[in-house]
A and B are shown apart, each in its own frame.
Chain A
Amino acid sequence: EAEVAQSPRYKITEKSQAVAFWCDPISGHATLYWYRQILGQGPELLVQFQDESVVDDSQLPKDRFSAERLKGVDSTLKIQPAELGDSAMYLCASSFIRSYNEQFFGPGTRLTVL
């Protein structure tokens, strides 16, 4: 069964360092999402792509976060510089069409900022 791949699974970094996460969606899924999940809370959407275009980044802290999906397939989420409050699970999801109907989530990257 096709799955969303994410790497790394775990990342420990010091504050003020740069960190990057990678996501490879299910083949053929045009819509890709990045979520952040703080411990004990539900996931929060950071950015949504339709192919290579950003369609929603209203919750992305643009002073330090950036996301790209250059060829409309895999995607990278970057944080620079990382802050203590960025410690969270970063989840990637994809869906076949922009319907929010059934999103398939990856296993996530657990980020710890020291």
Chain B
Amino acid sequence: DAKTTQPPSMDCAEGRAANLPCNHSTISGNEYVYWYRQIHSQGPQYIIHGLKNNETNEMASLIITEDRKSSTLILPHATLRDTAVYYCIVQGAQKLVFGQGTRLTINP
């Protein structure tokens, strides 16, 4: 499974867009990019996934570069409830492998 690199922590002001980067330079052609988040003391929660096209749902947008070596998760209007650890995962035929993620703190 391809590995991912994420910044360990980020801050964002409430109401602003939160942009969380992820590098996955060794991703292969059939591997998807998944994003999960984990709010303190809860189980992880699925956010979004994509292969090569940009994706949007009610929670977030996922922007994948054309070479697929990096991606950005965008929370368009961050709220205090978006404070969590965000995991970027590249998944092929094998299991989901969680890294240490990015701890996003939304500040009032």
Contacts and interface: CB of A to CB of B under 8 A. Distances in A.
Contacts of A56: 95
Interface residues of A, number: 20
A69 B35 CA distance: 28
Contacts of B19: none
Interface stretch (B22-30, B62-70, B74-82, B97-105): B97-105
The prevalent SS among residues of B at the interface is loop
The prevalent SS among residues of A at the interface is loop
B100 A44 contact: no
B46 A107 contact: no
A56 B96 CA distance: 12
Given A41-B100, A42-B87, A101-B49, A107 B43 contact: yes
Contacts, number: 41
A107 B96 contact: no
A108 B98 contact: no
A106 interface: yes
Contacts of B41: 107
A93 interface: yes
A32 interface: no
Nearest to A40: B100
Interface in B39-94: 41-46, 49, 87, 91
A46 B32 CA distance: 22
Q: Which 4 pairs between the two chains have the least Cβ-Cβ distance?
A: A105-B43, A42-B98, A102-B46, A45-B95
Interface of A: 4, 40-45, 48, 56, 91, 93, 100-108
Interface of B: 34, 41-46, 49, 87, 91, 95-101
24 contacts: A40-B100, A42-B87, A42-B99, A42-B100, A42-B101, A43-B98, A44-B98, A45-B97, A48-B95, A56-B95, A91-B43, A93-B44, A100-B91, A100-B95, A101-B49, A102-B46, A103-B44, A103-B96, A104-B46, A105-B45, A106-B43, A107-B42, A107-B43, A108-B42
